[in-house]
Amino acid sequence: MGLEIIILAAGKGTRMHSELPKVLHKVAGKPMLNHVIDCAKKLSPDAIHVVIGYGADLVKTLLSEENINWCLQTEQLGTGNAVQQALPDIKDEQEVLILYGDVPLLKSDTLKTLISDLANNRLVILSAKLNDPTGYGRIVREDKKVQRIVEQKDAENETLKINEINSGILASNAGKLKHWLSKISNKNAQKEFYLTDCIELAVNDQDNVEAIVCDSEEEILGVNDKIHLALVERIFQKRIAKQLMTRGVTLIDPSRIDVRGYLETGKDVEIDVNSVFIGDNVLGDQVSIGANAVIINSQISAGTSIHANCHIENANIGEKCEIGPFARIRPETVLAENVKVGNFVEIKKANIATGSKINHLSYIGDSVLGNNVNIGAGTITCNYDGANKHRTIIGDNVFVGSDTQFIAPVTIGNGATIGAGSTITKDTPEQKLTLSRSKQFTIENWQRPQKKPK
C-alpha cells in the first residue's frame, strides 16, 4: 500500500479577472501549482495526479518538466467530479491525499500528520478554527465526532455559528473514496458534486472519520482573487525572511524583501530594504546589498558591496568588488576581485580583470579588460555596427581618459594611455599615449545669436 496525491487545478479563477489559469498566478516568483507540487514531492508519493480544466494546455506546457499524470476535467462540475477524473488511474488499496492548486502555503509536516492518522481512520480531513469562518464549509460534530460538512451556501443559522472549517484537504483509502463518490449528488445550492459529501457517507457506513486541526490558519489559505494573492505573497516572503535571519542574514527590515526563487547566503550577509532576488542567486560571506537592488540569477562573491539601486542580471561578481549606486550589470558579465563599478555605469557581456575601475557614466559591452584598467567618465565601447557586435580588448594597466569612444573591433595595448575626448578606431601600442582630437581654435569677433523680437 502506497500513497498517491491528487491536486485539483481545473478552475479558471473568475475573480482573478485574468485570462491566465488561477493556479499559474505566481507566489514568490513561481506558479502556485508549482508550490503545491513541491510540497507533494516531499511526501515521496508513488504518483502525483493533477486535474486540469481551464487553460489545460498552458498548464501542461509551463509544467512540462514535472513528472505528473495529467487528468482532464472537461466540465466544472465540482470537487467531487474533479477527483473522479483521477481515481480510475489509482488502485483501490492505495492511500489518496487530495490537495488544491490554489493553496500554496501548506507545509509537508502538516500533511505527514494527516496521512499518519489514516492508520486509525478511513478518512481524515484537515480543519482549522477561525475567528471569522465566513465562506468556508463548517465541520459538524456530535459528541466531538465528525458527522458531516455543510457548505456556507447550504448552512442554516446554527451551523453558521460553528467556527471549525473544512480546508478541503483530505486523505482516504482509494477504494472507499471511489465508493463514496459514486453515491454523491448535485442537489445543493451550487448544483455541484461536492467532495465533502463523502464525509457524511463515510459516517453512515460507520467508517471512522477524523478532523486534524491545523495549527496555523495561514497554511490553508486559498487564493480566489488578487487580494488573496497579495496576502499569500506577504506570508510567503515573511517565511523566507525568517529562514534567512535564522541562517544569520541581517535584514534591515524583514517586511521589505522579496525572494522570487532560491537565495543562498554565506555568513554576515546584510540586505537593505526593498531588495528583490529573482531566480537562483548566491551571496558569499560578508556581502552587502543596498536598498532597492534587483539581483537576477547571479553570483556575488565574498566581501562585495552592492550599493543602492543596482540591477544585476546573469552575472558573476568576484570578491571585494564595489558596485553602484545606480549601476546596471547585464548578462554574461564576469568581474574578477577588487573591481569597482560606479554610478550610472552599464556593463554587458564583458570580462573585467582584477583591480579595474569604471567609476562614472560609462558603457562597456562585448569587452575584455585586463588588470588595473582605469576607465574615465563617459567612456563608451561602440560595439554594434547596426548589424553585428564587435569586441574591444583593453590590456593591463591601461588608463582611459574621460569621454573616449572605442570603435570596435579594437585592441588597446598593455600600459597604454588614451587621451580624454578621443575616438579610437585603430589598435593602439603598448606604453604609449594615443589621442584623437580636432584642433582647438577661437573665432575672433564672433557674436552669439540674439533672439528676434516677436
Q: Which DSSP string do the residues of 106-164 spell out, in sequence order?
A: --HHHHHHHHHGGGT-SEEEEEEE-S--TTSPEEEEETTEEEEEE-GGG--HHHHT--E
Q: Which of 179, 228, 311, 360 is catalytic?
A: 360
Pairing of strands 95-100, 164-173: antiparallel
Among the listed residues 257, 284, 243, 242, the one whose alpha carbon sits nearest the alpha carbon of residue 28: 257
Between helix 174-181 and helix 197-204 the angle, nearest 10°, is: 100
Prior bond to 104 cis, omega within 30?
no
Distance CA 140, CA 125 (A): 13
User: H helices of 151-214, where?
Assistant: 157-160, 174-181, 197-204
Beta carbons within 8 Å of 325's beta carbon, 6+ residues apart? 290, 307, 308, 309, 310, 343
Instruction: Look up residue 194 and give its three cell numbers.
Output: 461536492
Prior bond to 325 cis, omega within 30?
yes
Amino acid letter, 412: I
Whether 381 and 398 have beta carbons less than 8 Å apart is answered as: no
Amino acid letter, 147: Q
Q: What are the Cα distances from residue 207, in Å, to 94, 149, 165?
A: 17, 15, 21
Beta-bridge mates of residue 266? none
Distance CA 2, CA 191 (A): 34
Whether 222 and 166 have beta carbons less than 8 Å apart is answered as: no
Concerning whether 360 is annotated as a catalytic residue, the answer is: yes
Q: 588608463: which residue's cell?
A: 399
Q: What are the Cα distances from residue 161, in Å, to 140, 151, 395, 434?
A: 11, 13, 78, 86
Residues carrying an active site annotation: 360
